[in-house]
Amino acid sequence: MRLEVIFDIEGKKKRIAEIDSLMVSQDFWLDVNKASKIQQERKVLEAIISEDEFCETHIANSSELLKLAIESGEEDVIESIKVDVEVVEKKLNEMEFNLMLSDPVDKNDAIVSINSGAGGTESQDWVQMLLRMYLRWAEKKGFSTELVDQLPGEEAGLKNVLFMVKGPYAYGYMKAEVGVHRLVRISPFDANARRHTSFASVSVIPDVPDEIVIDIKESDLRIDVFRASGHGGQGVNTTDSAVRITHLPTGIVVQCQNERSQHQNKATAMKILKARLYEIELKKREEEMEKLHKEKKKIEWGSQIRSYVLQPYRLVKDHRTGYETGNADAVLDGDIDEFIKQYLLLMARRSDKSG
């Protein structure tokens, strides 16, 4: 079967043609956010088509070269073909990986929150370490990030932090990180240099597409403004620009203090609220699916999904998939793609079995 059939290249070309027709219409840019998302979609489709053409061309060329090399017995040409095949194999693996992200919201931006658990300053420092890990990972993937809100710890680190990861399939990747993350190390805050275990929980929800309407009544909201907090310096606002929104029917509280103006903070807080209300609807559907499959494991405090051990040995292990690596420093520097891939492969296999 040709690659263009597997990856539905014809369908993607038709969609690009549809987008091109939309972009020449006079009212396309009236809604800037929607127009930007459509442009991003086109960019993703073009990339997939380009990757398919790259693989098809290299496979065809390598096939012809192999025939000639076998006839002539040129060993160096055969070695060159092996290198080309490895390049194509890596590209195909990446394309196959993206096929697993089939949920409609997988392609959306991600809203990520990290909260410290038991352990005080040690756990709060762990939150900051995880934040750094995800920001480094996002940078390597070519994603942009936006810090929405954070609550500093008393001595060091962060009690909690909320940020956004923006880029194609950001949510599809980041959903693999949902759960409790456990750190074991010699504490830099312990004068006796004892080993400590810390926990932090990671929550990820998709940024809700503009076309999905979430009914939020003004009468259901309590909006409070306050002065932004921080460690001090020029980055801290000196006016009451931070915004906290409470959704009275559900009790959901969201806040944003990263932007300079109250208007911008309110807009971002409303975006987060919309996403969390959408998450509630998604959970209702998941509960219905659980009744049928009962495959999902509840994310509870203490049932960690991944352990990061820095002492007495160095190992990062995902308890859901069994995948592990001894290069803990690389992981904490953002090298988490293989963990994400193994999780998505596991979920794909479970989906196939239940289907």
CATH code for the domain in which residue 225 is found: 3.30.160.20
The verdict on whether omega for the bond into residue 206 sits within 30 degrees of 0, i.e. cis, is: no
CATH of the domain at 326: 3.30.70.1660
Does 310 reside within a domain? yes
Asked whether residue 104 is domain-assigned, the answer is: no
Domain that holds residue 12: 3-99
Predicted confidence (pLDDT) at residue 77 exceeds the cutoff of 60: yes
Q: What is the spatial order of strands in the sheet that 221-226 belongs to?
A: 221-226, 242-247, 252-256
- Both 138 and 193 in a single domain? yes
Please give the DSSP secondary-structure letter assigned to residue 208. Answer: P
Phi-psi region of 348 (alpha: psi -120 to 50; beta: other; left: phi over 0): alpha
End-of-domain residue from the set 272, 290, 308:
290
- In the chain, the percentage of residues whose pLDDT exceeds 90 is 34
Tokens of 327: 């290069």
Residues 139, 53 share a domain: no
| Calpha distance 280→104 (Å, rounded) | 16
Q: How far apart are CA 128 and CA 161, in angstroms?
A: 8
Residue 212: count of CB within 10 angstroms of its CB: 14
Residue where one domain finishes, among candidates 99, 132, 165:
99
- 343 found inside a domain: yes
| Final residue of a structural domain among 273, 290, 307 | 290
Question: 313 and 194 in one domain?
Answer: yes
**185 and 77 belong to one structural domain:** no
Beta carbons within 10 angstroms of residue 335's beta carbon: 18
- Would you state the pLDDT for residue 176? 94
pTM of the full structure: 0.67
pLDDT at 235 over 60: no
Using CA atoms, how far apart are residues 141 and 343, in angstroms rounded to an integer? 18
For 223, phi then psi, to 5°, come to -110, 120
Residue 236 banded pLDDT, cuts 50, 70, 90: very low
Q: If you average pLDDT over each of 30-34, 53-57, 139-143, 226-230, which comes out highest?
A: 139-143
Nearest to 150 by CA among 51, 91, 92, 228: 228
Neighbours of 138 (CB within 10 A): 23
Do 196 and 226 share a domain, yes or no? no
* CATH assignment of the domain containing 38: 1.20.58.410
Same domain, yes or no, for 53 and 78? yes
Give the total number of structural domains in the chain: 3
Same domain, 10 and 137: no
Nearest of 165, 250, 258, 267 to residue 207 by alpha carbon: 165
The CA distance from 173 to 179, in Å, is: 14
Whose tokens are 């762990």? That residue is 126
Round to the nearest angstrom and report the end-to-end CA distance of the chain.
Answer: 24
Q: Decide: 145 and 135 in contact? Cβ < 8 Å.
A: yes
Q: Is residue 213 part of a domain?
A: no
Find out whether 180 and 201 touch, Cβ atoms under 8 Å: yes
pLDDT at 210: 61
The stretch 124-141 carries a mean pLDDT of: 96
Does one domain contain both 134 and 177?
A: yes
Q: Taking a C-beta distance cutoff of 8 angstroms, is the pair 306, 314 a contact?
A: no
Average pLDDT rounded to a whole number, residues 141-152:
90
For residue 289, the model assigns a pLDDT of: 46
Does residue 243 lie in a domain region? yes
Question: Based on the domain organization, do 20 and 93 belong to the same domain?
Answer: yes
CB 138 within 8 A of CB 109: no
pLDDT tens for each residue of 152-168: 988 889 999 999 999 88
* Predicted local distance difference test score (pLDDT) of residue 68: 79
Instruction: Check residues 196 and 80 and name the one with the higher pLDDT.
Output: 196
- Domain-located, residue 335: yes
Residue 90 one-letter amino acid: K
- 164, 92: one domain: no
- Residues constituting the chain: 355
Does a structural domain hold residue 212? no
> Is residue 231 domain-shared with residue 126, that is, in the same domain?
no
- Residue 64 within any structural domain of the chain: yes
Spatial separation of the C-alpha atoms in residues 236 and 229, rounded to whole Å: 7
**Quick one: 178 and 319 in the same domain?**
yes
Query: Percent of the chain scored above 70 by pLDDT?
Result: 86
327: left (phi over 0), alpha (psi -120 to 50) or beta: beta
> What's the confidence (pLDDT) of residue 354?
57
